[in-house]
């Protein structure tokens, strides 16, 4: 199995919404974004599947060394070997990749966030930097596109947090800010034990409304001249924005289940966004 095939298999197995947007890219950029996604997946799995925090730290330290070797031109792992040919052409920097590792490591150090600014700092490392890296792979001319990509990464991460409240609670993590739980009179124990309440519903409605606002802010930042190149990000946005709608339609029943879209619907949303250049998404988000 070649490094590219390894990354392709890693991306396809994940069933992630990101995978569907990759299908519409030219071959070279598709290989680059697939390798980048596979690296992020490996890092995420290192934290989620290690079992012991000490083991995860050792593995993340190995990845830091591997990223250093990648930029020295001697990577060992299939995902870094697949990523190596695209570093210069896609503007992939060592600092940004190490920032992603920092974001993953935060999950070992912190299971609660006191307020939204604190959560945003985590989201910046876990998703905003990935957004910037992805924008470089897709291609851009205007530097403001990086601001759009960072904001869109925040929107994606907020959507993930909303979707995964129950899954994260079963791992002992609550990403919803403590002061917002207090504002809506929701106890951490209720979330950890999967108990719904009127306060929880109001809290989740607040989270979804904020995420929608961040999507609007992100799209407002995307320069018109880069919209065509950045269509893969817009495809992901269409899928994630539809997921928010499904969560709302369920009455925010996220403590006992992981709400998702079918693969066919994801593919349809990606194709529709690709064909329209994101215009339908723009109208939906701005309405």
Tell me if 194 sits within 8 A of 169, measured CB to CB.
yes
Q: What is the pLDDT of residue 15?
A: 63
Question: What DSSP element (H or E) covers 137?
Answer: helix 129-138
25: containing domain: 1-109
Q: Do 123 and 83 sit in the same domain of this protein?
A: no
What is the CATH classification number for the domain harbouring 124?
A: 1.10.600.10
Instruction: Give me the residues of the chain with pLDDT under 50, please.
Output: none
Residue ranges in 50-93 assigned as alpha helix (H): 53-71, 78-83
Give the total number of structural domains in the chain: 2
Q: What is the pLDDT of residue 221?
A: 96
Residue (of 268, 38, 241, 73) closest to 152 by Cα position = 241
Q: Do 40 and 99 sit in the same domain of this protein?
A: yes
Q: Do 120 and 88 sit in the same domain of this protein?
A: no
Q: pTM for the whole thing?
A: 0.93
Tell me if 19 sits within 8 A of 11, measured CB to CB.
yes
Give the whole-angstrom CA distance, residue 93 versus residue 91.
Answer: 6
Q: Do 160 and 235 sit in the same domain of this protein?
A: yes
Q: Do 227 and 241 sit in the same domain of this protein?
A: yes
pLDDT digits (tens, 9 = 90+) for 129-173: 999 999 999 999 999 999 999 999 999 999 999 999 999 999 889
Q: Do 75 and 118 sit in the same domain of this protein?
A: no
Residue (of 191, 147, 151) closest to 171 by Cα position = 191
Give the whole-angstrom CA distance, residue 187 versus residue 201.
Answer: 13
Q: Do 83 and 154 sit in the same domain of this protein?
A: no
Residue (of 35, 31, 46, 178) closest to 103 by Cα position = 46
Q: What is the pLDDT of residue 151?
A: 97
Q: What is the pLDDT of residue 11?
A: 82
């Amino acid at each position: 199995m070649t490094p590219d095939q390894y990354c392709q298999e890693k991306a396809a197995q994940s069933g992630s919404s990101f995978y569907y947007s990759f299908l519409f890219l030219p071959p070279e950029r598709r290989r680059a974004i697939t390798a980048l996604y596979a690296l992020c997946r490996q890092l995420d799995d290192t934290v989620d599947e290690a079992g012991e925090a000490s083991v995860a730290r050792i593995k993340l330290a190995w990845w830091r060394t591997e990223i250093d070797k990648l930029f020295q031109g001697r990577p060992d792992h299939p995902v870094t070997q697949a990523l190596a040919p695209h570093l210069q052409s896609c503007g992939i920097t060592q600092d940004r990749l190490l920032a992603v590792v920092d974001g993953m490591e935060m999950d070992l150090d912190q299971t609660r966030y006191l307020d939204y600014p604190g959560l945003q700092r985590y989201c910046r490392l876990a998703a905003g930097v990935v957004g910037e890296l992805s924008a470089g792979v897709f291609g851009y001319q205007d530097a403001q596109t990086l601001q759009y990509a960072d904001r869109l990464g925040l929107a994606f991460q907020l959507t993930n947090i909303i979707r995964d409240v129950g899954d994260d609670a079963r791992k002992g993590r609550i990403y919803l800010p403590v002061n917002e739980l207090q504002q809506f009179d929701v106890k951490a124990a209720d979330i950890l034990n999967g108990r719904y309440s009127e306060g929880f519903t109001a809290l989740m409605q607040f989270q979804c409304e904020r995420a929608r606002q961040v999507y609007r802010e992100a799209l407002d930042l995307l320069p018109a001249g880069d919209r065509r190149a950045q269509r893969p990000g817009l495809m992901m946005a269409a899928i994630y924005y539809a997921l928010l709608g499904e969560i709302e339609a369920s009455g925010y029943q996220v403590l006992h289940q992981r709400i998702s879209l079918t693969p066919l619907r994801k593919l349809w949303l990606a194709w529709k966004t690709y064909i329209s250049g994101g215009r339908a998404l723009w109208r939906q988000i701005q309405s």
